[in-house]
Structure 1
Amino acid sequence: MKYFIAYVVLLFLASFSQNIDAQSCIDSTLIDPDMVCFEIWDPVCGCNGITYSNDCHATYTGGVVSFELGECTGTKADCIDLGGVDFGECEMAMGVALVNGECQYVGGCGWEVNGQNYQPYFFDTFYACSFMCNEASNTPTFEGELQSLMIFPNPSDGTVSVTGIGANVEWEVYSFVGELFFTKQGPCKDLELPHGAWIVALDDGTKKRLIID
């Protein structure tokens, strides 16, 4: 009986220690949704085992208190498609991953399924996933003829015009954390966006930073 009690106590202490470590790695007061982090791929490995696209995202998006330069252990360059993995019906936001050939935001109950940890194959932003997975497959992130993209006024109070592109050219608007806001085609005279920082991107890779005051 004494051995059983000691075993239970050890299990509890181990679990408690893991929870403390996980909590001490994240400082929620660092998370700042208004912080504008540039979408550059200069990866860091957070103390929580997640690869962030750069130190700015690690600190102000993830709230990570410490990190190391470079990706976490794992091979994101392989861009493993997680379409066949069932992460459960929970609503926990897990990050961005390659699912059925496309980068998608994934939710579930946890990164470990049937004893395998899939966390190294998740990204903190849509941009990071798209950049790495397309690069790994030798497919350029953007394709098409170079266009001229103009946005004015910038900064704006909420309504801007997007010009200098052909009628058949598709373009997209992303938040600065990589979430796709919407897709349009051809010029747009009155584009209304909420307060914040945005990225307007053409298919050929042309990008413009847009600030809505």
Structure 2
Amino acid sequence: MKHVFGLAFAATVAATIPVHAQVQECVDVSLINPEAVCPAVVDPVCGCDGVTYMNSCEAQTHGGVTSWTEGTCAVESCTDVAGVDFGECDFVLGIAQVNGVCQTISGCDYVVNGVDYSPAFFEDEPTCTMCNDVPPECGLQLLISTEDGMWYTFEAIDVPADVELTWWIDDFLAQTGGLVFEAGFDFNPFWSVCAQYESAPCGGLVEQCYSNVDGVAPCTDLAGVDFGLCEMAMGVANVGGTCQFVSGCGSYVGGVNYAGAFFDSMESCMLQCNPGGTLPGCVYPEACNFNPLATEDDGSCTFPPFGCGFSEGAGCMYPGALNYDPWALVDDGSCQFAPDNTDCPGDVDGDNTVGVSDILTLLGQFGAVCD
């Protein structure tokens, strides 16, 4: 069914392109040194290999792990504990999943081989059986396309099979059912098209809209959308499932307004589009561009005196320099030293002449006590 309403726009269909990330290997065998002597300090760390080590030294020299976290390793809730030997004690640990079935388990301790299994246990069976519940599918995305700039096709994807879509133009119910909706717009300069469905497991109404004023919905995947070769910074957007900085010539591509997909910062994009994901940035507190929100170092850190914008208190801290600042708190790399010019004694500034600037420089050091 086709519907005629107002003002035409063109669109392109965004294609999803997988993004490949380079993952650091957890174990580096070159770090293993059986002859290394580690301190006998009990400060357990959890290696990236899932093994608990007595301290970080043992993690590196005995296990060869490249990263670890403080404390013993712990499993996630609902972890299946089949094959884990908790000992022959009669102490009831709780109820946990064993080969997908909730069972009461007895043993000596939650910690086995340095791994803390306590998060896998529950106090009652009904709570444990929730591990087998399949979370509801609550997806809905809109793809927009046009062939002639007059009629527009809206396609709903990632929709659960057991729901019925309704299509709306502004507040008007235009179509019930179907994953595809077509409409044309001639004289209405302000309009929106929404697809929605009701689902109790999903919390009620699930909706996705496109507005010719506000653009596509936030977190729309922009993979495959060509914004041009311009260097204008447009913002941060979801590209292939990750938040990335995007530049281009403008937010309109093929008549579609993609402005709604952009965020002002990496943090806001990740918070809404990729919660729990990694945020690249500088993770070293002593760096000039330290980002306290970053979770993964991207190699962008800059350290004094290079690449830093200093505030008050920065200057040359070397007493032997021509521009030594006794009040400087941070050395900014600006120190200047007199050249070693034995052919022209008194030429302090190195211009091959002894002039007023040399005399002023020497007078500036008058009265200094030298060791």
Scaled to the shorter chain, the TM-score interval is 0.3 to 0.5
Higher share in helix: 1
Q: Which has the higher contact order (CA 8 A, sep 6+)?
A: 1
TM-score when normalising by structure 1: 0.34
Using structure 2 for the length normalisation, give the TM-score.
0.20
